[in-house]
Every structure is written in structure tokens, then in C-alpha cells.
Amino acid sequence: MGKICILSKSLPLLLLSLSLSLSLSLLSILLLPPKTSAFAPFINDYYCSIKPTATSKTMSLAATAANTAARNVGKLTPSTSILLICDVQTRFRPLIHNMESLLHTTKFMTSVAKELDIPMVATQQYTKVFGPTIPEAFADPADIGTLCPVFEKKKFSMLTDECASHLHSLSGGGGGAPPRTNYLLLGIEAHVCLQQTALDLLELGHSVHVLADGVSSQQSYDRKMALKRMEQSGAWITTSQSAVFMLMGSAEHERFKSVSALVKGRMGEVNEFNDE
């Protein structure tokens, strides 16, 4: 009688222990990767039979949209862009590879920037030695130093303290306007001043668009390697015409007719970069 009493008291505990052990065993099987479980065929069939609910579909679409929105694909708008003209100076004119084509592109881009109200900034490397900005780089040379401020430098990068301060004032995005974080970059030399400018801007988190038909060096190989180096670092390598049409975005742009005339004029000029 005593043994029966003891057994009856311990039976619930025994059943609870067996139930817990069985539950843990089933849970461990379900948590195993399909390839390691003896129940893999049955588990796979179960998972495949589950149909996504409307909620799971919505969450998936939202996650995709968020990922897409976060991706920077290098789009350009006039209100978020600044044109930088790096050291296009008289002393370099006979020395730079395809310099006349570079000047045509610079004139084209400074004209477009003026038409689309995009701020322009130029630098001159040690003007006493290398001379002033070449007048033909602008449709109206009177814009040099007025509409387009020019900063003297000895530093290779354009981002001297004075120039960087001015760029900061342009890109603040005050009054509800979007900040200017896209920099269109052209000038010389591609592997020295221009490249160091691009890297400085990228390091600060800006988007850099290098206009391949508007940059060069004394040696074509240096130019080629500089474009590759800047692209590897995150710069967008594009062409002046591609950038201009992206800036407008549509044939319905209010300045489309006048900018298209500038594009047509540029296409009628020599562009030696087409042969590279």
C-alpha cells in the first residue's frame, strides 16, 4: 500500500518530465538546418506549404523600397549641384593632353551652369608661376572672379580653408532649399590636383561627378589611371553631355531650349577625347 502511494505521488512528476523532454526534442529537430534533420522532407514540405500573408508581403515591399531609397545612384539636379573648375590656367595650355578639347568642355559647362543657376567655383595654382584662368574657359570672361569666384592656392586639392569655407556657405541648404552635395568636377591635372580634390570631397561624404571629357593631365596615361583611381574611391565618372541632360531631367525643363543650343554648339566643336 505504501509503495502504491509513493508511486501515485511521483507519477505526475514523471509525466511532466517526459512531456518536457519530448517537447525539447521536437523543438531541437525543428531548429536544425533541413540538411541535418532526419525529418527534412517533412519539414521542407511544411515550410513550402506556408503562404505569405498580406502583412508579410507589405513588409517585404517596404523593406525593398527602403533599400532602394537608401541607394545613391548619382542623380543630379541643379538645386543640389556645384561646378568646380580646377586650375585651368594659361601656363598649362601648351602642356596638357587634349587641352583645347578640355577648354571647349569647360566653356560648355560654365555656360550651362550659368543657364541653370548652378554655382561655380574656380581655383588657380600659384598664379604667379602658372598664370590666370584661361579666358576661353568661359563664354563671358567677365564671369571669372565675379559670377565664378577664383581662389588662389598652393595646396594641390581645391579644398583650401578659404575655398572650403565658401563651398560650405553654398551648400548649407538654408531657407528650405536642399543642400548642395553634388560636385561636378573638371580641370587639371587629373592625377594631382583634381584627384586630390575628388578624394577630399568623397571623404567628407559628398557625391563627386568627374566629367571625363573635361579633365586631363600632361600624360594621357596619368589621366587614365586618375579616372580609374577616382572611380574606385566612389566618384561617378561621366561626360559633360550626360551630366547636362541629367541636370535638366526632361524636355519640359524651362531652360531646355537654350541648353540644347549649347549642347548642339559643343557637338560641333573638336572633342579629341572621343578617340580614346
Which residue numbers are catalytic?
A: 87, 153, 193
37 vs 50: CA distance, rounded Å = 19
Torsion angle in degrees (nearest 10) through CA of 228, 132, 91, 226? 0
Rounded CA separation 262/267 (Å): 9
- Look at residues 253, 223, 233, 214 and name the one whose alpha carbon lies nearest to residue 76: 253
